[in-house]
Structure 1
């Protein structure tokens, strides 16, 4: 297992997502993930029952001190209507997440969505209160643009506070035509350049682009409306063809190449995965061992025409 560090917290580079945990039918996948050396679990207040299931699993297994919990709050579509990126909503969601998870601290706490109309100052001030109280060990942003994170961190620096310590947006080899879900943010080249310059860890959701590189789709098959809307474009199909070619050269799968693309960025990264079986988990674990050169990364991303 390889690791990434956030504010002194060491977590596995692969993180297991629990958004679909109710569909698993059991928590066996969590057991398998931890047995394989995984330490990071991604969940959210907005996932309704997921935090409760994870909390029960933590109690039954005694694994709280073995894992790093990333949870999120202040989602615009979670709870009472109206503004959600507020001090009140953050306090409410965090308190309920702590109770559901049965823990006294959240290792990584992220705001699930942004509201660009909200000034960053009060948000950073509220999050710092929880850092000082010890109920949160690191703060981050999920689905915030890098410009808003930059603004927030500049505010923090000028007021003697701590800024965002990680970012969680979509980063994948396939580039999204439009947000997969309302309010979501995907990392473009400017975002990647900013992370490279600042070395702020990026924990990617949908790192494998919903299975785009798994050989399940084709330009002619337009039966999956969401995949067509988000990922179908000629550049992505060329990226897919190149991933297949490089996979053949390395003796791995194109899906593993896509995950390795995220894990081999020139800045700290993690990838949130959603395996549905032991074989899918093993596939992702093996992808961590794939080393990609700068030239290969550029070629996969269509930044160069030839691969020497």
Structure 2
């Protein structure tokens, strides 16, 4: 599998990152099976968060690591400072508390990547970067990143870190997919628009995309008349996205691959380092993701798929 390098990490990061939002304490056999399949295709990085499955995702990963002894083979990305019923929690105390809980659940002293799950634009970036640098200095995290931050806030954070001799974000994790979001899937989520893509290209900051395949939009299960999935209708149904789907189907036919593999390849063939968070649950889906990750698309094909070229 292809990999990217993230500044601050010794190990490379596989371009496919295994999502674990279905890892629970009551499905250990599925967790073990999925992780074995993921390792077999060359994956080495997993994504989790304090809030996934009420905390069971991190606990399930921790149990799997203990039982298999594969900690040295895995990059862990976990996330904290997610809003709760009281509102935003992007502050030093919440970060400290959430990270301590995550490390305990995972059964590790340090994670390779730690990201803020949301942003709070009312908080100056300086306070956030300073708080995260304390954990970098302590060794409890090896790199820091931002999930669902706009590129404008990423730029502010980069400038603050440089001006104050601190370590800034080494990666960002918004949604990036061939299908463009009409509105956020969840409150506070960010999808990369063209301006964000241009910013990432200019700065070469690695982007780790969630919902990289637009939550099944490219599987062929959906049509403009099929409106049974209200969230998919709300977020991804648009004339432009149906045209992107049509073009992806056409290109897939020419290359002898599936449409969803073209959608995955679109994310992984950008002009800056990218990874895609995936959620396969069987061998066939895992192999499909690997094949999609190995596809090469030209800049002209990317532009045509994205409707920027006739």
The verdict on a shared fold, with TM-score over 0.5 as the criterion, is yes
Task: Figure out how many residues of one structure are paired with residues of the other and give that number.
Answer: 303
Partner of 2:13: 11
Partner of 1:200: 205
Q: 2:62 aligns with which of 55, 60, 65?
A: 55
Q: 1:21 aligns with which of 14, 20, 23?
A: 23
Over residues 240-292 of structure 1, what are the superposed CA-to-partner deviations in whole Å (9 max), with x where a residue is unaligned?
A: 00000000000000000000000000000000001122111110001111100
Whether 1:114 aligns to 2:114 is no
Whether 1:187 aligns to 2:192 is yes
Is the partner of 2:113 in helix, strand or coil? strand
Detail structure 1 runs of 4+ shifted over 6 Å in the superposition.
none
Over residues 200-256 of structure 1, what are the superposed CA-to-partner deviations in whole Å (9 max), with x where a residue is unaligned?
A: 000000000001011010011111111100000000000000000000000000000
Distance 2:67 2:209 in 1: 29
Over residues 165-212 of structure 1, what are the superposed CA-to-partner deviations in whole Å (9 max), with x where a residue is unaligned?
A: 100000000000000011100000000000000000000000000010
Residues 111-260 of structure 1: matches in 2 within 5 Å? 111-260=116-265
Distance 2:199 2:273 in 1: 12
Distance 2:8 2:255 in 1: 34
Partner of 1:102: 107
Whether 1:72 aligns to 2:48 is no
Is the partner of 2:179 in helix, strand or coil? coil
Distance 2:40 2:8 in 1: 23
Over residues 69-116 of structure 1, what are the superposed CA-to-partner deviations in whole Å (9 max), with x where a residue is unaligned?
A: 000000012xx7244000000000000000000001010000000011
Distance 2:81 2:205 in 1: 22
Distance 2:8 2:269 in 1: 21
Tell me if the contact between 2:17 and 2:275 (Cα under 8 Å) persists in the aligned partners.
yes
Tell me if the contact between 2:8 and 2:142 (Cα under 8 Å) persists in the aligned partners.
no
TM-score by length of 1: 0.96
Whether 1:2 aligns to 2:2 is yes
Is the partner of 1:26 in helix, strand or coil? helix
Tell me if the contact between 2:82 and 2:88 (Cα under 8 Å) persists in the aligned partners.
no
Per the TM alignment, residue 7 of structure 1 is displaced from its structure 2 partner at its CA by: 1.2
TM-score by length of 2: 0.96
CA RMSD of aligned residues (A): 1.1
Distance 1:121 1:167 in 2: 17
Tell me if the contact between 2:110 and 2:142 (Cα under 8 Å) persists in the aligned partners.
yes
Distance 1:83 1:143 in 2: 13
Distance 1:275 1:16 in 2: 8
Per the TM alignment, residue 5 of structure 1 is displaced from its structure 2 partner at its CA by: 1.0
Could you tell me which runs of 5 or more consecutive residues in structure 1 were left unpaired when the two chains were aligned.
none
Is the partner of 1:207 in helix, strand or coil? coil
Over residues 103-157 of structure 1, what are the superposed CA-to-partner deviations in whole Å (9 max), with x where a residue is unaligned?
A: 0101000000001101111110011111111111000000010101111111111
